[in-house]
Structure 1
Amino acid sequence: MRLQEITSIIREYFFLALILVIVLGIIFFLGYFIVYRKLLKGKKRLSKKHLLFRGLFTGYVIMVIGVTFLNRDSYYPGGINLSFLSSYKEAWYSFSARNWQFVYLNIIMFVPFGILFPLLHSRFQKAVWTIGVAALFTLFIESIQLITGYGVFEVDDLFNNLLGAIIGYEIIMGFITIRKNRIKRSLVYFSPLMLVVILFGSMFTYYYLKEFGNLSITPNHRINMVNTTITIDDTQLDENKRTVPIYKAPSYTKASANEFVTDFFKRMNIDATDMEVISYPDEGVYWIRDEISYNIWFQFLDGSYSYSDFSSFDEDKEPKDGDEATLEESLTNFGIQIPQDAVFQKVDTGAYEWKVDKKVIGNQLIDGSLTVDYFNDDTVKRINNQLITYDKVKDVQIKSEQEAYKEMLEGKFKYNAENNKIETLHIDKVEISYYLDSKGYYQPVYAFYSMVDGREFTIFIPGI
């Protein structure tokens, strides 16, 4: 999610909260002046400071409810995730901005709670009040999400929300104690925030200093294999470690991706002067909106992309069959050269695919597929280019097949199993494959081609 999208959501529900606070304020004041002061002859005066804090807290609660419920559709199947810190593991192994956003936003969302709640009344400045009510509030949100289907009940959400409330509470209490000239006490209050900053800072520093990235195929939790029936074809698993190459994808920055897409459109004689660019942390979306609209989704990590020419939706346009030579000639207009020995096949009328399976040429590895849609005006209108040329970085030693097999038997692989259990596992064969890590390195992995509970599935075990 882009920063603009986050701020847009906040702005939308800020105005909703503001309107509702004004309405509730009008109702409150009418009740106070007409019912309490005039009819009941009440003498208690309102504190402007307390009214301000209560108004802010009410608006904050409305915003949280809006973000957690009104901003979603009820399409979740419901469920409970009791795997503690699984969101952190998912964010770490994929190391994608999107997954880290979920962690950060769940923490930040409850920081205002911790700041505002102690300001409602002096008794709430005791930690047990703020932390206790914050725990009940986040438990209420998660439970309602589960019941209504607007989300999944996750232990990590409870933890992150509560952590945010604690940070907010410690911040406000730190400033309160500073005003009372209790500097040492204030440092104690600020320590949770400093600890969180140090932990996250250390984690990110370690990540950026280590040589290779993380693999998203690494599991967040183990599969229960205790009662699994395991069979394997007549394959002798090697006990020796092996040395194999590791490769690097042609990763792009936002600037170099913009340059690539601009050149792509120039080859087609399309004016990219007014090109609309929507940049996400991991990808860019490019639009040319004219009489004919064009679109490219570009992945920064490996340079893969999908291209669409929206004239394909015109009434007089329809898919058309073409031969391989004609299609390859059309692709040269896009600057695309099909590697030799690529396997060509027809997928559907007008839809074709080229595949290359880990072909090594010198110090390069070509792997992946390219699909195109060809139309009756003799043009290619859709391209999905996942055919990547990787450059060799170095040779690395990887674990043996036996070691990888042992990890698999221990359930250390990623698989969405019902009740986290597998009944039957049959392994057809095992070979060394490759998987893109979070830094754009093409890492060696062991691929166990298997039948899991009667379904074909490839189990990946990291090689390094």
Structure 2
Amino acid sequence: MRLQEIIGIIRENFTLALVGVIVVGIIFFLGYFIVYRKLLGGKKRLSKKQLLLASLFIGYFIMVIGVTFLNRSSTYPGGVNLAFFSSYREAWYSFSVREWQFLYLNILMFVPFGIFLPLWHARFRKARWTIGMAAVFTLSIETFQLLTGFGIFEVDDLFNNLLGAIIGYGIIMGILTIKDKGIKHSLLYFSPLLLVVLLSGSMFAYYYKKEFGNLIIVPNYKTNMASATITNDVQLDDQRKNVPIYKAPSYTRVSGEEFAVDFFKRQHLDTEDMEVITYPDEGIYRIQGYSIWFQFLDGSYRYTDFSNFDAESKDTNKKTLKDSVTTFDIDIPEDADFQKVDTGIYEWTADKIVNGNQLIDGSLNVQYYNDDTVKNIDNQLITYDKVKDVQIKSEQEAYDEILAGKFKYYPENNRLEALHIDQVEVSYYLDSKGYYQPVYAFQSTIDGREMMIYIPGMD
């Protein structure tokens, strides 16, 4: 999510929390001053500090409910994920900003919980009370999400929320005790925060230092193969081999915007008022009637001319279509396969075409219209540059990983009943740094469904 979207969610739920606090305040006023004080003659008074902290906590509570429930629709079938740290592994293998955001926001969301309670009442200055209340709160949220379909029950969410509460508790207790017990004692309270910062910093430093990126095809947890029947039609090679690794034409936000400007200008469009929306992984560029969705990692994109709503698709021949595509500065290799998909819709496919030190792979889909123009382009046809040769594991080693359940597949109850391997080949998969890594692609049938199993080629 972009920062603006996060701020928007906070602003929206802050308004909800403010209204909620006002409503609760009115109810409290009627109950305390009219019923308790006047009708029942109660004498107990509440301090302004307690009222303020109670109001803040109620507002915080409402915001958490808004984020975890009201901003979602009940579209999940309900499920349980008890694989500890699976969300961390998913974030690591994809190394997606969005995945890391979810993790850290889940932690951050409960930091105020750990801060408010010790301030509100002395009892909660004992860790067991604050952490216990945080456990009850987050467990209630996860259980309610499961029962209502607003989410799934995830043990990682419980851990992250509790960690956030522990960090918040440590921060406030460190501040409250620094004067009486000194800095050394307070540092113990700050240690959860310092540990998270240290581990996070080390992990990100390691990632950016290592040569190649991570592969999202690596599973978050093993598939249970205990009762699986496994058959294989392939004669597996047990020798390691050297194959090339390639690099995609990756872009930054600046170079991505330059690409969009050049693209529109080739179509004689004015880019002065171009709207730019950027996310960590992609950019959206719009001018009146046109848009480009651009992927920074490999330079693939989708282009739309919205005048297509006033036109009809039209068939044409390959040469005319190729000439039209050339005006978009798209170079199609001669060896690419060409086919008609539907009326006016055509596709070129390049299956790992090697051209010197380059590899061309992917597909190009275009749609032609009755005004003799192309108005829709989905360009996944990427030219990769060779980086160097790398040694990859043998087919047998890759197959052994499948036998051990180390592949991405999520059957019900994490159990696989029948697996048949039809074919295996060396293919390629884009990693999180834009390298096109060699992988083994096993054409398989799993529990009656045809699918491809990918195993990373490099150790």
Measured against the shorter chain, the TM-score band is over 0.9
Q: Which residue does 2:393 correspond to in 1? A: 399
Distance 1:172 1:360 in 2: 60
Distance 2:314 2:413 in 1: 47
| Counterpart contact for 1:328–1:337, Cα < 8 Å | no
Distance 2:434 2:456 in 1: 15
Q: Which stretch shows the higher mean deviation, 331-340 or 53-62? A: 331-340
Distance 1:26 1:127 in 2: 33
2:266 partner amino acid: R
Query: Out of 381, 387, 391, which is 1:387 matched to?
Result: 381
Q: Which residue does 1:111 correspond to in 2? A: 111
Distance 2:227 2:41 in 1: 74
Distance 1:39 1:424 in 2: 73
Q: Which stretch shows the higher mean deviation, 327-336 or 363-372? A: 327-336
- Give the Å deviation of 1:428: 1.2
1:411 paired with 2:405, answer: yes
Residue aligned with 1:439, SS: coil
Q: Which stretch shows the higher mean deviation, 150-159 or 44-53? A: 44-53
Cα deviation, 1:377-408, whole Å, max 9, x if unaligned, reads 11111100000000000111111111111111
Q: Which residue does 1:348 correspond to in 2? A: 342
Residue aligned with 1:414, SS: coil
Residue aligned with 1:433, SS: strand
**Stretches (4+) displaced over 6 A:** none
Q: Which residue does 2:307 correspond to in 1? A: 311
Cα deviation, 1:126-183, whole Å, max 9, x if unaligned, reads 1011000000000000111111110001000000000000000000000000133532
Q: Which residue does 1:275 correspond to in 2? A: 274
Query: Out of 275, 281, 296, which is 1:300 matched to?
Result: 296
Distance 1:409 1:40 in 2: 73
1:277 partner amino acid: V
| Counterpart contact for 1:254–1:284, Cα < 8 Å | yes
Distance 1:40 1:154 in 2: 46
1:113-152 to structure 2, matched below 5 A, reads 113-152=113-152
Distance 1:52 1:181 in 2: 27
2:301 partner amino acid: Y
1:353 partner amino acid: E
Distance 1:15 1:378 in 2: 51
Distance 2:300 2:272 in 1: 23
1:257 paired with 2:256, answer: yes
1:187 paired with 2:187, answer: yes
| Counterpart contact for 1:434–1:444, Cα < 8 Å | yes
Query: Out of 322, 327, 346, which is 1:328 matched to?
Result: 322
Distance 2:43 2:446 in 1: 74
Q: Which residue does 2:236 correspond to in 1? A: 237
Residue aligned with 2:272, SS: coil
| Counterpart contact for 1:139–1:158, Cα < 8 Å | yes
Residue aligned with 1:180, SS: helix
Distance 1:38 1:145 in 2: 42
Q: Which residue does 1:51 correspond to in 2? A: 51
2:294 partner amino acid: F
Distance 1:28 1:450 in 2: 64
Distance 2:45 2:424 in 1: 78
1:366 paired with 2:330, answer: no
1:185 partner amino acid: H
Distance 2:10 2:164 in 1: 17
- Give the Å deviation of 1:31: 2.4
Distance 1:34 1:218 in 2: 63
2:31 partner amino acid: G
1:192-211 to structure 2, matched below 5 A, reads 192-211=192-211
Q: Which stretch shows the higher mean deviation, 237-246 or 29-38? A: 29-38
Distance 1:230 1:15 in 2: 57
Distance 1:444 1:72 in 2: 38
Residue aligned with 1:231, SS: strand
- Give the Å deviation of 1:426: 1.4
1:440-451 to structure 2, matched below 5 A, reads 440-451=434-445
Distance 2:150 2:170 in 1: 31
Distance 2:38 2:131 in 1: 38
Q: Which residue does 2:157 correspond to in 1? A: 157
1:458 paired with 2:457, answer: no
Distance 1:37 1:321 in 2: 83
1:425 partner amino acid: L
Distance 2:107 2:283 in 1: 27
- Give the Å deviation of 1:310: 1.0
Distance 2:28 2:382 in 1: 64
Cα deviation, 1:300-358, whole Å, max 9, x if unaligned, reads 000000011111112xx111111111111111121112111110000011110000000
Distance 1:422 1:36 in 2: 63
Unaligned runs of 5+ residues in structure 2 are none
Q: Percent identity?
A: 72
Q: Which residue does 1:10 correspond to in 2? A: 10
2:169 partner amino acid: Y
1:79 paired with 2:79, answer: yes
| Counterpart contact for 1:244–1:395, Cα < 8 Å | yes
Unaligned runs of 5+ residues in structure 1 are none
Cα deviation, 1:272-315, whole Å, max 9, x if unaligned, reads 111111110111111113xxx1111100000000011111112x
1:339 paired with 2:333, answer: yes
2:307 partner amino acid: S
| Counterpart contact for 1:114–1:168, Cα < 8 Å | yes
Q: Which stretch shows the higher mean deviation, 214-223 or 41-50? A: 41-50
Cα deviation, 1:430-454, whole Å, max 9, x if unaligned, reads 1100000000000000111111112
Residue aligned with 1:19, SS: helix
Distance 2:413 2:18 in 1: 44
2:442 partner amino acid: F
Distance 1:24 1:221 in 2: 45
- Structure-1-length-normalised TM-score: 0.97
